[in-house]
Structure 1
Amino acid sequence: MTRSGPSKPSDARHGANRLIIARGFLESAKLQISSAQAGTLGNPIAATVVNAAIAYTDALTATFANKINQNDHAAVIKTLRDALGNRLPKSQETRLTRILGNKDLVAQYGGRFMLLCECLDRVQTASDTS
């Protein structure tokens, strides 16, 4: 069994709620992209994509393992792998790792600007099929 990192008990109801929230974050990111203009700051868009990925992961782990990752988003992959085992395709794991790798860069912790074009490149790279 894979070490799951810090997690807390959850249930399928919480998973269903996190799925709704994940879809909301994803829709928000799409709206931000569609209304953005050249030179737009991409950090808020990329941060929204990261939040969507975290919420989708919580939805899966709550539904399939009755737990969610807590506080340590670097350990979310381990929690997901523990919940899904071999049902988690390696390509999806790689994409999620790339998306979450942008968390510190784009969230409120980072001090580096990311323009829209770089944000779109990072999102596209994360979603490309391996």
Structure 2
Amino acid sequence: VNNIVTNAIKYSLEQAKIRIFITEDEKYYKISVKDTGMGITREDLPRIFERFYRVDKARSRAMGGTGLGLAIAKEIMESHKGRLTAESEYGKGTTMTMWFPKERPELEYEHEFKAGGPTE
């Protein structure tokens, strides 16, 4: 959540608006962070979750970006059976949505514990 909100602030102009919405459907609780920042081009959008990918390389370097934040955030969400999605229109803003499953998934270490634990 911190990475998504920080990115919305970092890549928005001073007068931009950032809104956070919490909603739910049958399967997920959703946290959406919507900004009126610079947005992401249609060409770049499919790649923003790749490691080391930066939409604006020069600006990201100046701001200290490594291109890892969204990749890590997405991996964390997926490891907990959630999702991270992005919608954007260049020049108008971006909405990042974190999808948290309502049904708590069984984590790998819990599965091992039920099965008798790791062998030594």
Identify, as 1 or 2, the structure richer in strand: 2
Q: Which one has more relative contact order, counting CA pairs under 8 Å at least 6 apart?
A: 1
- The two structures have a TM-score, normalised by structure 1, of 0.30
Identify, as 1 or 2, the structure richer in helix: 1
